[in-house]
Homo-oligomer: A and B are copies of this chain.
C-alpha cells in the first residue's frame, strides 16, 4: 500500500490506537474508519474524555486506587471496615471485587505483580506502602486477592513470607476461582463464594 493512500490524520489515529492493548493494525484501522464515518462531535467527546482523564484522576494516598478524590470513595466511606485490607494487582481487580458486592473492607492496589524476567521486583510494586499501612495498628487482616496465575501466586507467596512476622492475620482468596483465570473475568457468584470462604495461610 503506498503510504499516501491513507490520509496522514487517519494514519496518526491508527498508529495511536495500535498502542492500546489487544488492538492490532487491522482493528485500529477499523476503529479509526468507524470514528471517521460518525459525526465529528463523537470523536471530540472521546478526545475530551481522554484529555480530562489524567488531570482529574489521581492515586488514593491510602490504597493507591485511581480516584478523583483523596481519600478515595472506599477509603473515605465510614461504613467500610479499615481493619480489613484486600490486596489486589490492579484497579480493574478492585472493580471486579466490588461487583461481587460482598466485600466491605478496604483495598491495597499493588499496581503490578512480581515478574523478575521483566525487571519487576518488590520495589517496583506497592509492597513497601502496604507494610507502612500496617504500622499504625489499624489493620488486623491482610486479605491477599492476587490472581491465581503464576505471577499472581508468586506475588501472594512473596507477600506471605514478607508479612508473616507482622501482627496481622494473613488470608488468601479461596478456591472457587479456576486456576489460571484472571479474577477480572470471574463471574460474580464464583467470586462472591471465593471471598466468603477465604482461607488463613498458616
Contact = CB atoms under 8 A, between A and B. Distances in A.
Copies in the complex: 2
B53 A5 contact: no
A189 interface: no
Interface in A4-24: 4-10, 12-13, 16-17, 19-23
A144 B123 CA distance: 61
Contacts of A21: 30-31, 34
B47 A12 contact: no
Interface in A34-59: 34-37, 40, 42-57
B20 A53 contact: no
Interface string A89-128: 0111011001101000000000100000000000000000
A1 to B, nearest CB: 4
B68 A8 contact: yes
Contacts of A9: 49, 52-53, 55-57, 68
Given A47-B48, A48-B47, A49-B16, A92 B30 contact: yes
A55 B40 contact: yes
A99 B5 CA distance: 10
A86 interface: no
A202 to B, nearest CB: 31
A36 B1 contact: no
Per CB-CB distance, the 9 closest pairs between chain A and chain B, nearest first, are A40-B54, A47-B50, A47-B47, A9-B56, A13-B49, A4-B73, A7-B68, A1-B98, A1-B99
Interface of A: 1-2, 4-10, 12-13, 16-17, 19-23, 26-27, 29-37, 40, 42-57, 66-68, 73-74, 90-92, 94-95, 98-99, 101, 111, 184-185
